[in-house]
Amino acid sequence: MADKAENHPLSNRRPKSSDLPNGGPTPITPIANSGLSEAIKDGGRIYQLMVDSVRDYVIIMLDPAGYIASWNQGAQRIKGYDADEIIGRHFSVLYTEDATSIGHPQHELEVAA
């Protein structure tokens, strides 16, 4: 009996050389020429529009060192900072002095890593 995965369209198995055109490897099409890069860019724009439209939740992106890289409308409404004044600052500014003094922001960053 044939393995069901063998016929699955998303199978990770490499094709047999007899299945390939001319019995050899299939040339790889660069992403720039395939339209995939445009689809990826569109997906990024759609994601950003979706994040920007959320007003009831804070959605921020940090770089690995903890600096704020993106800030949505919900973050602006809830935290009170405009994107222009908060992007590039360390996320520890969002914590109280007490929490910062005991290292809570740094601990959260370490846990997230």
11 domain-assigned? no
75 domain-assigned? yes
Q: Is 43 exposed, middle or buried (0-12, 13-18, 19+ CB in 10 A)?
A: exposed
Output the tens digit of pLDDT for each of the chain's 113 residues: 555 555 555 555 555 556 555 666 656 656 555 666 777 777 788 888 888 889 999 999 999 999 999 999 999 999 999 999 999 999 999 999 999 999 999 999 999 98
Residue 85: C-alpha distances to residues 57, 68, 70, 71, 108 (Å): 19, 11, 11, 10, 23
> How many domains are contained in the chain?
1
47 domain-assigned? no
- Domain range spanning residue 63? 55-113
* pTM of this structure: 0.60
Q: What is the CATH number of the domain that holds 99?
A: 3.30.450.20
